[in-house]
Structure 1
C-alpha cells in the first residue's frame, strides 16, 4: 500500500506542476492516473481522492469543459463535503453554463464556510444581477435550497493570532486569487463574449448606461478584447463621460496600436473636453520639420477617405507621435 500511496503523491505533484505551467490537458491525465492507482490499490483515502478530483476539475474548467468540471467537483464534494475549492470551481462552471441559480447556491455555500472569500462575494453579486434580469423580482423564490453548513465545517470563527486580524481578509482574498489564477479560462472568455454581445444589443436600443454595465462585467472576465473597450468608450461618449472614454480608448490602443475606432473616439473625447490640438501635439513635434513631415505623408485633408494615411506609419516617427498624428487626422475628418 505504501508504494502505491507514494506513487499517487508523486503523480499529484507532477500534475500540479503541469497545471502551473498551463498544461491543463497533461495535468488532467496525471490526476487521472493517480485516481486509477488509488482505485486499483483499493485504498479508501477520501481526502486524497477529493483533492485529485478537485484538481482535475480545475483543469477541465481552464479548458472550458464545464460539464466535466461540474461532475468532478460533485464527486470531490461527495467525498469531502464543503470543500471551498471544489465549490468555487463548480460555481464558476455553472456560471459559464448559465446555470445561475446553481452557481448562486455554491457561492453562498462558500460564504457560509468562510465569509472572507472575495471570489464568492463577487460571484454572489454577479449571479444576483443575472437572476434579477432573468427571473425578475421573484428570483429568490425560484432558487434551489441552499445547504446548511455545520459549525464544524465553518472557518469564519477560526480567528488568526492577535495583531493579524486586519490582514486576514486580505490574505484570504490573495489566496483565492492565486487559486483561480488571473489568466481567463475558456469558459470565462466565452461568458465575456456573451456579455459583450448583450452590451451591443443594449447600445442598439440606446440604453448606453446598461450597456456599460455589460461591457464592464465582460472586461472583468477577460480584458483582452479591444472591441469591448471601444464599445464602452462609445457609450461613455454618448453619456458625455469623456475622461472615461479617453481611458477606455487608451486601453484599447495598448491592445491594438492601430485601432481606428479607438483613435477616432479618443479624438472625439479630447475635442469635447476642449483640448487644443496644437497643445497636444506641440511637444512631440519640436524636433521635426512639420512641413517636410506632412509633405512626406502626402496628407490631403480635402480627401474623402476616412482612413488614416498609411504613409504616416512609414515615417521615422516614434509611436507616440504617430498616434497623436492619427488623432489630429480623425479630429479634422470629424469636422468635415
Structure 2
C-alpha cells in the first residue's frame, strides 16, 4: 500500500484466500470488493482484516450452475438478454470455468455505506451487456434491475444509486422500499465512442460526468490521453463543459469515484484527477503491461507520475482506497473467519 498523504509505502499481511489469486472489482468506504477463485464475491477491509461473503454467483439472474454427476459445481452458464428486450430473446449461452467467469463478467462494484454498520447495499455492473444487479450485505440473493445497458460507473448519494452508461444517460435507483424506484435524470448527453464515463458527486452539490479517452502505444499498452469534466444540468438535460475543478481533487478507476476538497488533504494536488485502470476484465490478457495510472492536470492537460519510479506491480491492477478502521459489530453482518 502506498500512502499519498505520507508519500511512503507500507507492506501489510492480508487473510486468505490469497490476494494474488483474487480480482479487485471495487473499493468503497475502506473496503475492497474481491472475487475469489470460484468467482464468488467477498468484501475485505485490509486494515481490520475482516471479510464478508456476498450472495453466491448462482443467485444472479443470468447464471445457471452446471453440476457434475456427483453434484459438484463445475461451471457457470450465462444467458444473453437484458431489460430492454421484450419478450426476452434467448441467444446462445456461454459457459465458464469457475475461476474464468470473473475474467469476463464483473466490471465494477460500489457500496452504499460502510458495511461494518450492518446496513449496506452493493451495486454491481456486470455482463451480459454491462447491466446492474444489487444485493444486501448479509443477504442471500442478487437482484437484477431490468433496465438500461452499457453502464460504466455508479455512485451512491443520499439514499440513491446513480448509474451512468457509455452515452451519458444517468439513471437513479432507490432500493430501500418495497419495490425499486427508478428515475431517469438525463438521456444520451454524450456521443460515443468514449472509453469510460464516470459519475462523481461534487462537494458543492453538483453531479459531474467524467469522460476518459485512451490511446494505444506501439507496445500495445493503453494510456490515458484526455479527461474531460462536465457539470450535469438535469433541468435542461445538458452538460456544461468545465475547465477545471478548482481547489478540489478527483479519484477515478475501479474505486467509487470521489471528489474531495484539497483543504482537507493538503498533500494532494488541486485541479487534478488521480486515475488508475478501470475495467479489470479487459486487462486479463495483458497482465505484464504497465498499468495506466497517473495524475491528470486539468489546466495543462498533461499526465505526470504519482511517484517515480513506480512501486506497484502490474497485476493486480492498483486501486484507490480510503482507510477505514471501524470493526464490525452489527449482528446482520457475517464475517469470514
Q: Aligning the two structures, in what range does the TM-score lie when normalised by the shorter sequence?
A: under 0.3
TM, length-normalised to structure 2: 0.24
Larger radius of gyration: 1
Q: Greater share of strand residues, 1 or 2?
A: 2
Structure of greater relative contact order (alpha carbons < 8 Å, 6+ residues apart): 2
Q: Greater share of helix residues, 1 or 2?
A: 1
TM, length-normalised to structure 1: 0.24
